[in-house]
Structure 1
Amino acid sequence: MRIGIDIRALQKGFRAHKARGIGRYTSMLIKSLLELDQRDQYLFLVEQGELPSIESDPDKFSYIEINTHWPIKAPYWQRTFGQHILLPIFLAKLELDFIHFCSHLDAPSFSPKKTLVTVMDIIPIVLQDLYNRKNSSMRFTAGRFLEARAIRNAKKIIAISQQTRRDLVQFLKIDPDKIVVIYPGIDTCFRPVKDPATICAVRARYGIEGRYFLYLGGIDERKNVDRLIQAFAELIKEPEWSNYCLVCAGEIENDAQFPQLTAQIRHRGIDHKIRLLGYVADEDLPALFSAAEFFVYTSLYEGFGLPVLEAMACGTPVVCSHAPGIAEIAGEAAILFDPYSTESLMNSIKTLLIGPELRQTLIQQGLKQATHFSWDKTAQKTLELYLAIYSESYK
């Protein structure tokens, strides 16, 4: 097979994907596929410019450089025209059996080649009221229309959770037979770190002292970080919890909500109790997870919620939202709370802090739950889907 895979998510600056879930998914998927598949030819679509580094035998793949730059000044429409007009024209010239877009957000609404799209979630469609009020109505409507078309026109769809599959069927009326659920995996680097020197070095690197709760992720409204700050501020008013800190990791400094977040922290007078680390290198995350008292994830909605599993794989107890997608992958290995209730979040945290036996139970259950998700399994099931698409083409 000649398999095209869109890996633009690995290029710095491309829609901010690289440091987020889409970038991690793309990186780990192609790495695992190249290790697994010794037969097929992989052609990776990239934008012209600096090529992403791929740790694999260069004989196993090649790059195809594309140019979707539309010569107009308006950034939104420049990207939109490039994706939905220039990209299909370019794809028509390629000799490929099909193209896998690792995010449906990057796929064209029409393609002259067979496409497979991975859908992480369709949250802007599911939570339209939340996202529509933050964007121009015309741009939002146009964006969702093109997004839905890219999904509907795909030959097959990978949903990263059962919840995402249900959303596709319910909101976009996608034929369930077109959708295959393939869970992402967990990088093998995520495991308990027990070496004190390693943990001390990471603490020193990021200026972390004492006992802390950890949050990893973005800060847009859906992530519900405001409620986490509120709950933490109330919690540390009680003497028995006053020595704890909250550590927030994630590349958030350029987010539109960042000034509002820092203002809220200052207003509550807890800026000395919260560490905003910014981007944390992958090699430091296992130690950061392992040293935390617990990991907290407050999102209102997720297609999957990978940080929950990464924390579990590191032996860190998890307190997380019972929102769709998150509860699905957490199983019975976490304490779940109502993300719309500050009291529910506080009570869940206290339940964990006062229960050493519960903490140990969650650690063991979390380590077991994490073993169900591996990139080897993800790559194997994805390759099986590739073969199915290829076979259908030549029946």
Structure 2
Amino acid sequence: MRLLFDVRFAQHQSRRGIGRYIFGLIDALRVDGRLKISLLEDRGATALDRSTIFVDELSAIDEDYFDFFCLPSYFPDNWANHEGRLGFLLPHQALRISRSVVGIGHDLIPDIFPDIYFSTRPDLHDLFRLGETIASQISSHTFCNSVTTATDFAKYAGCAPTALTVIYGGVDIAKWSAAHCYPPTENVVYVGGDEYRKNLDGAIAGFAAFKKIRPESRAKLIIIGNIHEPSRSRLDKLIEDLLLPPTDVSMTGFVDEHDLVRLVKSARMTVFPSLYEGLGLPILESLAAGVPCAASNVSSTAELVPPEHQFDPRDPRSIAKALDLLLHDENERSRSIAAGQELLSKVNWTRAASTMIETLLRIRVTDRQLKRSKSRRVAVFSCTPPDRSGIATNSAKVFGDADLFDLFTDVASPQDLSLRERETQKIAGRQVSLWPICAFDDLDEAERYDRAVYVLGNSHHNLPVLQALMNHKGNRAAKTVYLHDGRLENIWFWYCGRSLETMRTLFSMFYPLAQLKSCGTHNEFPDVGMRGIRPLILGAGIRHIVVNSERAKKAIEYDIACEFDVRVDIAHHTIDRIEANAIPPFSRRRDELIIGTFGIPDNIKGTDRVIAAVREINRSRPARLAIVGWRANEYACNCISPEDRNIVEIVDSPNDAELHRWMKAVDVAVQLRMIQYGESSGVLAQLVGVGKKPIASTNLIDPALADHTIAVDREIPPEQLAEEILNARHVIGTYDGLEKFSSASLGNWFASHFSTN
């Protein structure tokens, strides 16, 4: 079994922290002998041994030569310095020659203290989100250095518990247990630094509290580790404020290995007041040296130290009590040393290596299964919640399954990515794999995808997706456009910087000039047979289009005029059962009939005709029309006459819950469309989903909804429409027979369709 271990950043930190952990693990794996290990390094670095492979040599190695490519960390310190962040962490050639990816999980500190770490480094959130997604979506297994770390990877990174194995780690027992004659001292040694989570302030405050209990004690606090300014000045002032004599606290700064061993082995005890640790190698080193150790009762430190030698890291009195116990109680000192030896018999490099190898042997399965972890997925580009777009909501439902899809969206900042992830998961009702669009090139280069699906509509929300499509001409993944509209002239207008002249120039490349000369504004383009499909086919190299209806397919075929080799498939619009709030959001007068029309109001959508019908109904009985949708106030101001204001209620920009509540509460819903260009009606599907049988114009009704709607002619006179509304007020809708059009079914259709095409 062959393993390619990436050591490109670990080599430069081999004496401390993660670097020391990685090389300790590699040495133990080699001693075990069941793995053949090669080390990956950047050209220019020193070859560590004859097994070293440089990145620029990977292209000469056969595909799948290695069983596993092992990442030393999902968040290397120097990752942020590389523009191609994902390409640096996951070289696509390394993935090509390896059957599967595994990684080492050390900690998720910024997730534990987001206000401390993400607020000071806005880029860190983006990096962590990317690393966590690699852990949960690309890596087939993660080896964690503690139970705490495994729990955090499941909680924050979304890793499946079955894909996590705790191996702990170890120390160089020979070095730390060697019988050197170091003169014993009364020192309390702290090994760490001034990072927030290390809680050095707590160590000093706890030591000061101990000195108040034992003023006669000759113990000194020795602080080993780098202390930066302004931390040094702040700590000096803290020592002064706590009335500690300066001679009682010593800050050594960074020390070499020899001095570190000497200071620890000669100490009376060590103390580790960390607020969070992934493992805590210095604790294992102290125990290996036979030096009693007190540590905080949180995170992994609580896994390494007996409960009686733990303390609350935020309580100086609790720390002082632990110091007093292990400095002066010989029985507790002996117990600490004995517990340490028992721990080290279980937590050591030999056992870590053996556990890792046995796990790798267990998860080494067929090539096809392994390939699934690094490729054979579907990338989906779409606007996402909280965008006020039906497409955003639909994509969250259809493509919000992290097991099947990676969903790429436009993000303005790391905070925006977090917001979109939360809102998308809320709608999807499950874990989603959400990525910024800018990350796609690296993932595609790593051959992660067979197919990329670009979800497009005609509104400006879809502009980033169209831009991505036009920029991805040379990518590996085959492209499919999933259209919610049969016309795209408005989104092309936005793509052209809202310049009609620029749009005219672009369209002249794909449509006859004679047609262009007749166009006055971009809204007139559809009337002369230019719906914006040809630029997708020729400009982006699209050969496959998916639409929501037979009518949309005909509209597209009309636009391309059978001149291009393009396959058009139909995947009907999603129709989900919707549980809406049953309490009406309005009060009604006696015998008042409440009619609703939903979506963006426009006379092209027959809003004026519905108002006229409600006006007609009011001749015989009280009736009111609720216009519920985005830009409803704008329509009311511009299009509703003063005499009609008393029969119309405006609900502008409702959220999904409000929209569905209104849909369920109205007596009759009416949706008309005067002109149809193949657009799908998400509103009609939602009305059926809440249990309505809406009135709709025949050109708007998908065949799947024929039995669940009341069809009327799009030019129906207001008097006849009023009669249809009165007849429909007691009609009850049903969802029966529509389960096959659910979001889950459509998501499965996309996944299965593209796994075989």
Mark yes or no: TM-score above 0.5: yes
Once the two structures are superposed, what CA deviation does each residue of 1:283-318 show, in whole Å capped at 9, x if it has no partner?
Answer: 444433221111100001112112112211211111
SS for the counterpart of 1:324 is coil
Corresponding residue for 2:223?
A: 248
Structure 1 residue corresponding to 2:83, chosen from 77, 81, 90: 81
Report sequence identity in percent: 25
Unaligned runs of 5+ in 1: 68-74, 99-113, 204-209
The alpha-carbon deviation at position 266 of structure 1 amounts to 5.5
Structure 2 residue corresponding to 1:115, chosen from 82, 98, 101: 101
Corresponding residue for 1:220?
A: 195
Corresponding residue for 1:385?
A: 359
Structure 1 residue corresponding to 2:323, chosen from 346, 349, 354: 349
SS for the counterpart of 1:81 is coil
SS for the counterpart of 1:45 is strand
Once the two structures are superposed, what CA deviation does each residue of 1:327-382 show, in whole Å capped at 9, x if it has no partner?
Answer: 112245x6000011111111121222331222222222222222212211111222
Amino acid in the other structure paired with 1:48: R
The alpha-carbon deviation at position 263 of structure 1 amounts to 4.6
Corresponding residue for 2:4?
A: 4
Contact 1:321/1:339 (CA < 8 Å) preserved in 2? yes
The alpha-carbon deviation at position 158 of structure 1 amounts to 0.9
SS for the counterpart of 1:277 is strand
Distance 1:236 1:331 in 2: 24
The alpha-carbon deviation at position 135 of structure 1 amounts to 2.4
| Structure with greater Cα Rg | 2
The alpha-carbon deviation at position 5 of structure 1 amounts to 0.6
Distance 1:309 1:93 in 2: 34
The alpha-carbon deviation at position 238 of structure 1 amounts to 5.4
> Given the superposition, is the C-alpha separation of residues 194 and 94 from structure 1 closer, same or farther in structure 2, using an over 3 Å criterion?
closer
Corresponding residue for 2:17?
A: 21
> Given the superposition, is the C-alpha separation of residues 356 and 115 from structure 1 closer, same or farther in structure 2, using an over 3 Å criterion?
same
Distance 1:361 1:87 in 2: 44
Structure 1 residue corresponding to 2:37, chosen from 19, 36, 42: 42
> Given the superposition, is the C-alpha separation of residues 43 and 321 from structure 1 closer, same or farther in structure 2, using an over 3 Å criterion?
same
Distance 1:371 1:192 in 2: 14
Equivalence map 1:157-168=2 (5 Å): 157-168=142-153
1:145 to 2:135 alignment: no
Distance 2:207 2:306 in 1: 25
SS for the counterpart of 2:364 is helix
Corresponding residue for 1:109?
A: none
Distance 1:350 1:240 in 2: 11
Contact 2:104/2:142 (CA < 8 Å) preserved in 1? yes
Contact 1:236/1:243 (CA < 8 Å) preserved in 2? no
Contact 2:80/2:127 (CA < 8 Å) preserved in 1? no
SS for the counterpart of 2:203 is helix
1:305 to 2:280 alignment: yes
Once the two structures are superposed, what CA deviation does each residue of 1:250-294 show, in whole Å capped at 9, x if it has no partner?
Answer: 2x1457744533453466554322222233333444433221111
SS for the counterpart of 2:38 is strand
> Given the superposition, is the C-alpha separation of residues 155 and 284 from structure 1 closer, same or farther in structure 2, using an over 3 Å criterion?
same
Contact 2:4/2:40 (CA < 8 Å) preserved in 1? yes
Amino acid in the other structure paired with 1:11: Q
Amino acid in the other structure paired with 1:245: K
RCO higher in 1 or 2 (8 Å CA, sep ≥ 6)? 1
Corresponding residue for 1:104?
A: none
Distance 2:261 2:342 in 1: 17
Corresponding residue for 2:114?
A: 128
> Given the superposition, is the C-alpha separation of residues 288 and 62 from structure 1 closer, same or farther in structure 2, using an over 3 Å criterion?
same
Once the two structures are superposed, what CA deviation does each residue of 1:135-193 show, in whole Å capped at 9, x if it has no partner?
Answer: 23xx1331222121121121111111111111122223321111111111222235445
Once the two structures are superposed, what CA deviation does each residue of 1:92-113 show, in whole Å capped at 9, x if it has no partner?
Answer: 2676335xxxxxxxxxxxxxxx
Corresponding residue for 2:555?
A: none
1:51 to 2:46 alignment: yes
Equivalence map 1:228-247=2 (5 Å): 228-237=203-212, 240-247=215-222
SS for the counterpart of 2:84 is helix
Distance 2:149 2:56 in 1: 30
Distance 2:237 2:55 in 1: 43
Equivalence map 1:59-74=2 (5 Å): 61-65=51-55
> Given the superposition, is the C-alpha separation of residues 115 and 224 from structure 1 closer, same or farther in structure 2, using an over 3 Å criterion?
same
Q: TM-score, normalised by structure 1?
A: 0.78
Once the two structures are superposed, what CA deviation does each residue of 1:70-101 show, in whole Å capped at 9, x if it has no partner?
Answer: xxxxx98962423313554x432676335xxx
Contact 1:298/1:320 (CA < 8 Å) preserved in 2? yes
The alpha-carbon deviation at position 239 of structure 1 amounts to 5.6
Corresponding residue for 2:166?
A: 181
Contact 1:46/1:66 (CA < 8 Å) preserved in 2? no
> Given the superposition, is the C-alpha separation of residues 383 and 146 from structure 1 closer, same or farther in structure 2, using an over 3 Å criterion?
same
Amino acid in the other structure paired with 1:374: N
Contact 1:120/1:160 (CA < 8 Å) preserved in 2? yes
> Given the superposition, is the C-alpha separation of residues 294 and 93 from structure 1 closer, same or farther in structure 2, using an over 3 Å criterion?
closer
The alpha-carbon deviation at position 227 of structure 1 amounts to 1.2
> Given the superposition, is the C-alpha separation of residues 255 and 51 from structure 1 closer, same or farther in structure 2, using an over 3 Å criterion?
farther
Corresponding residue for 2:268?
A: 293
Once the two structures are superposed, what CA deviation does each residue of 1:116-148 show, in whole Å capped at 9, x if it has no partner?
Answer: 111111121122223223323xx1331222121
The alpha-carbon deviation at position 27 of structure 1 amounts to 1.0
> Given the superposition, is the C-alpha separation of residues 255 and 145 from structure 1 closer, same or farther in structure 2, using an over 3 Å criterion?
farther
Corresponding residue for 2:251?
A: 276
The alpha-carbon deviation at position 221 of structure 1 amounts to 0.8
> Given the superposition, is the C-alpha separation of residues 263 and 393 from structure 1 closer, same or farther in structure 2, using an over 3 Å criterion?
farther
Contact 2:188/2:222 (CA < 8 Å) preserved in 1? yes
Corresponding residue for 1:110?
A: none
**RMSD over equivalenced CA pairs, Å:** 2.9
Distance 2:158 2:92 in 1: 27
Contact 1:165/1:179 (CA < 8 Å) preserved in 2? yes
> Given the superposition, is the C-alpha separation of residues 356 and 42 from structure 1 closer, same or farther in structure 2, using an over 3 Å criterion?
closer
Distance 2:146 2:85 in 1: 26
1:326 to 2:301 alignment: yes
Distance 2:114 2:214 in 1: 41
Distance 1:52 1:295 in 2: 37
Amino acid in the other structure paired with 1:21: G
Contact 1:214/1:289 (CA < 8 Å) preserved in 2? yes
The alpha-carbon deviation at position 224 of structure 1 amounts to 0.6
1:336 to 2:310 alignment: yes
Amino acid in the other structure paired with 1:304: L
Amino acid in the other structure paired with 2:194: I
User: After the TM superposition, which of the residue ranges 17-26 and 279-288 deviates more from structure 2?
Assistant: 279-288
Contact 2:206/2:315 (CA < 8 Å) preserved in 1? no
Distance 1:237 1:321 in 2: 21
Amino acid in the other structure paired with 1:63: I
